[in-house]
Structure 1
Amino acid sequence: IIQPPSGQDYRTVSGDANEILESVLGNAFGGLFTFPEESSEIDIPSYQFDRYTGALTGFTKMLATKNARLNIEVIQGGANEAFEIMLSAVPIQDLSEEIEYSQDSRVNISIKESRRGINHLICLGKGELKDRQVVHLYAQLDGSISQKQYYKGLQERTAVYDNNNAEDLNELIEGGTEKLQEDMNYKKMNLEIQDMDLQIGDIVGGRDYNSGLSLKKPVVQKIVKIESGTEEIEYKVEGEE
């Protein structure tokens, strides 16, 4: 867990991404994790971790601000030597422009589009009754979120987000934004990928010619199955059910 230093509200870091990984995680797991000596060439000018967040979640969110991902690689030692796990920061590969999966690729693909989702979220923070913090967040036509209303009248769909544990207004807005992103209009893609070596965080594209929908999503799971000596790798993309 990434904790704030004593007497401070948040853990804030800056510098080369590899050096940050090492400084935050350090020797927390008895030397199981190691870090490259060379620079990642991914500079983090300043980043503030969420309070008491898990290391994986914190690193993932930090690196995403630089279009990068956490690379996890097992390094096998010599005979009778233990392996080690090297953590490093690397750029995300956006393969959606080079490789697009569709019915033409002979893969199983389905894209689900949800319309008429929530577009107005009333966020309730600390305080009681009239003194309670209240922030209104609105979905925009392009999918972004702001505090200016776009959908009105019959198009407006409103819900409430209750978080009286938010430390301040910024934390309330951050949590409300994540909640609205989950509940607003969305597209989800299910696909089966074969004969590709992808890593978690890489981005792939999909197109369903039957509906005309297309989108690109990052890989969020890589599952290796070995049965009777045969290896099979299964990938899951963000939002896949």
Structure 2
Amino acid sequence: MDLIHEDSNHAMLGAIDRYELDLAFGSDENDFECTMAISDHCCSIGDYLAMQDVVNGHVKYTEYGGRIDGVSVDTGKETVTYSGRTWHGILAKKILCPDDGQNYLILAGDANEVLGFLIQRTGLGDLFEASDQKAGIAITSYQMDRYIDAYTGIRKMLKCAGAKLVMYYREGKVHLSAVPLVDYSQDEEWDSDQMNFQISSNERPVNHLICLGKGDLSERMVRHLYMDARGNISETQTFFGVDEVTETYDYSNVESEEELITGGTQRLQETWAAANTLETDFENNTEYDVGDIVGARETITGVTIKRDIVKKILKVNSSGINVECQIGE
């Protein structure tokens, strides 16, 4: 891959030859550092860096890149480091607010059209654009979390539609689109004979949550949420007797039943994730995207689990290029 340097107006200044790059995006960080000898100093605040490759004679544009926000110099090491937000980090530093007088931002339509709307809403239309092709993925009255950052909000919205956010930078624009996420656990499940990982599974986490909203005594808002053996949440009970594990969820300042159910659902999802964990990092898997699903099976106990890819880390140095994926709850 080549690291392309552009000025603040996206005029190409050439490829950078000698450097070290540490870039991460996903559940956190969403930033980068690029370090080189001070004698090779070539970048300014406001410039852009983007990785691209040539495959079979064709340029392959990637999501690895961002805007330089800061410069630091180490005179002892004689190095200069450029730091900034990745494309994902630029989105993450925009907050999605409800319209005046509204409790929530409600979104509906084809996923790519919704992405285009959100780009304009965040004021990022000069740098970002959504695909003008129909995604074929429907967003149906999605209630965006209040005051959530745009990157996290978009990923959560698309996940609810079985989709993921993909992007690449080309000639001054970050191109966004929604595509179906890939569940690699269906046909590429790892086992403990292939790689090392830590896996745990608790088949009886909290599966009945009594959600307590505003009001007092008999006037208090109460809703019951249940989780089945696959982690699906509804208002239909599936576990009884000794298999029923119950807790209360106190949300006394809630404004509506809908908000109470949303909060309770998130609490049960967190409980499910904490009860079923998979910890491993795996390298050189550039085909996996943040939002895809991977699975693992421990061969002796037979414990199986699947988890989302929540973060990717790209490191470039004299030894070459390394891409690491991290799995989250």
Compute the TM-score of the two structures, normalised by the length of structure 1. Answer: 0.82
Structure 2 equivalent of residue 89 of structure 1: 178
Q: For 1:161 and 1:3, how far apart are their aligned partners in 2?
A: 26
> How much is the aligned-residue C-alpha RMSD, in angstroms?
2.5
Q: For 2:101 and 2:281, how far apart are their aligned partners in 1?
A: 49
**What does residue range 107-186 of structure 1 map to in structure 2 within 5 Å?**
107-184=195-272, 186=275
Q: 5+ unaligned residues in a row in structure 2: which ranges?
A: 1-94
* Contact 1:110–1:208 (CA under 8 A) maintained in structure 2: no
Structure 1 equivalent of residue 71 of structure 2: none
Larger radius of gyration: 2
Q: For 1:13 and 1:181, how far apart are their aligned partners in 2?
A: 22
2:290 is the alignment partner of 1:200: yes
| CA displacement 1:152-192 (0-9 Å, x = unmatched) | 44444332212123221111112112212222583211233
Q: For 1:147 and 1:16, how far apart are their aligned partners in 2?
A: 28
2:225 alignment partner AA: L
Where is the strand percentage greater, Structure 1 or Structure 2?
2
1:53 alignment partner AA: I
Compute the TM-score of the two structures, normalised by the length of structure 2. Answer: 0.62
Structure 1 equivalent of residue 306 of structure 2: 216
* Contact 1:108–1:192 (CA under 8 A) maintained in structure 2: no
Structure 1 equivalent of residue 99 of structure 2: 5
* Contact 2:285–2:325 (CA under 8 A) maintained in structure 1: no
* Contact 2:285–2:323 (CA under 8 A) maintained in structure 1: no
- More off after superposition, 122-131 vs 168-177: 122-131
* Contact 1:113–1:187 (CA under 8 A) maintained in structure 2: yes
Aligned residues, how many? 232
* Contact 2:189–2:294 (CA under 8 A) maintained in structure 1: yes
- More off after superposition, 4-13 vs 174-183: 4-13
2:296 alignment partner AA: G
* Contact 2:284–2:324 (CA under 8 A) maintained in structure 1: no
Q: For 1:126 and 1:200, how far apart are their aligned partners in 2?
A: 37
The one of 115, 133, 140 equivalent to 1:21 is: 115
Aligned in 2, Cα 1:181/1:36: closer, same or farther, shift over 3 Å? closer
Q: For 1:156 and 1:14, how far apart are their aligned partners in 2?
A: 36
